[in-house]
Amino acid sequence: MIDSLLSLISQGTELATAAGHSSQTAFAAVLCAALLSFLG
C-alpha cells in the first residue's frame, strides 16, 4: 500500500510540474491522491 501511495505522489508531482503549476497546487494534488487512495 505504501508503494502505491508513493507512486501516486510521484505521478501527481510529475503532472503538476509538467503542467507548470505552483508547488502549492502540487501539494494539494498529492493530498487529494492520498485521500482517494485511503478512501478507495
| The total number of structural domains that make up the chain | 1
Residue 28: what pLDDT? 80
The parent domain of residue 31 ranges over 2-39
Residue 39 has pLDDT above 80, yes or no: yes
Locate 14 and state its grid cell: 510529475
Q: Which residues of 6-27 are buried (b: 16+ CB within 10 A; e: fewer)?
A: eebbeebbeebeeeeeeeeebe
Alpha helices for the chain (secondary structure H): 2-19, 23-39
Q: Is residue 12 within 8 Å of residue 25, measured between CB atoms?
A: no
pLDDT digits (tens, 9 = 90+) for 13-35: 777 676 666 677 777 877 888 88
